[in-house]
Amino acid sequence: MPDLDSVVREISEEMAARADRGAVADYIPELAHVDPGRFGLAVIDADGRLSAGGDSETLFSIQSISKVFTLTLALGMVGDRLWKRVGREPSGNPFNSIVQLERERGVPRNPFINAGAIAVTDVILSGHEPREALGEILRFMQFLAQDQTITIDATVAASEKRTGFRNTALANYMRSFGVIENPVDYTLGVYFHHCAIAMTCRQLAAAGRFLAHNGRNPSTGHSVVSPERARRINAIMLTCGHYDGSGEFAYRVGLPGKSGVGGGILAVAPGRASIAVWSPGLDEAGNSHLGRIALERLTQRMGWSVFGA
Ligand SMILES: NC(=O)CC[C@H](N)C(=O)O
């Protein structure tokens, strides 16, 4: 088996030098300032060893990657009742699409498109003040990454709130069907803020370790979810984690993964490693362009695709 440190170093060098970098998301004005030349990669293996390259210690906006963690929290709160409020099928549509909601009576296709994640956030919010719900989500991230320094970038959250017209439309539309139960402003406030959590590749790879090891962090011994639940979250990441680019991601990378418009991707190699990559330039589906290519190289060289060598 090739040496992981060398593979990570070589990939990071190749990615830093590439000219094709995709386009930085600009519908959230604050994200438009991020330098598209950045690239970071962090891999934490089953023994807790870190292999990292490039800008793996730079904070970036995790955006939709937070949806993996809000899904985990919501399942912990209401269990399988969650599936009355959100489906688990790929949508085949862009992440911010509204088209299916009318036909499907306001129930979003899956927890990783915006509508689905807003519905999941609404479940977490029920019975709490927005501030408490947000604190719960942030503390969960800090606990998973074993790092109290993780915070929310309030400027990014405010920037998205100012321009979040589509998300506001999605939330109001779902509210009209009773799929959203709390005041739309509250639910969206919590949603925009959890999307604005800032993390490094190293912190994110650490937070994802439970998904790679049957629901348990093998270093701390903390059991986060049952093995079945970890397997199912991974299944949804594989089928829905990259929106209408999910098929292509499975074809090329072959791992459960979740992307965010900040340019990050969290990927899970079951039994082997938790991986976080960041490159801010996106492809047409809104997924990190070089992030995907880097993961494709990594899984090919390490033989880590869940579909075989
Ligand atoms: N794909 C994403 O990362 C989208 C998240 C972003 N906060 C939004 O709601 O538009």
Tell me the sheet residues that pair with 269.
273
**Residue 186 Cβ contacting ligand 1 at under 6 Å:** no
The answer to whether the beta carbons of residues 103 and 173 sit under 8 Å apart is no
**Residue 96 Cβ contacting ligand 1 at under 6 Å:** yes
The answer to whether the beta carbons of residues 156 and 30 sit under 8 Å apart is yes
Atom index in ligand 1 nearest the CA of residue 286 equals 1
Asked about 84 being catalytic, the answer comes back as no
Residue ranges, comma separated, of all CATH 3.40.710.10 domains in the chain are 4-61+200-302, 64-197
Mean pLDDT, the chain, whole residue set: 97
**Residue 22 Cβ contacting ligand 1 at under 6 Å:** no
ipTM of predicted assembly, 2 dp: 0.97
CATH class of 64-197: alpha beta
Q: Residue 10 Cα, ligand 1 centroid: separation in angstroms? A: 30
Res 32: pLDDT = 95
**Residue 200 Cβ contacting ligand 1 at under 6 Å:** no
Checking if the pLDDT of 309 tops 90, the result is no
The C-alpha angle with vertex 270 and arms to 253 and 74, in degrees rounded to 5, equals 100
Asked about 261 being catalytic, the answer comes back as yes
172-191 per-position pLDDT tens digit: 999 999 999 999 999 999 99
71-82 per-position pLDDT tens digit: 999 999 999 999
CATH for 4-61+200-302, options being 3.40.710.10, 3.40.50.720, 1.10.1040.10, 3.40.30.10: 3.40.710.10
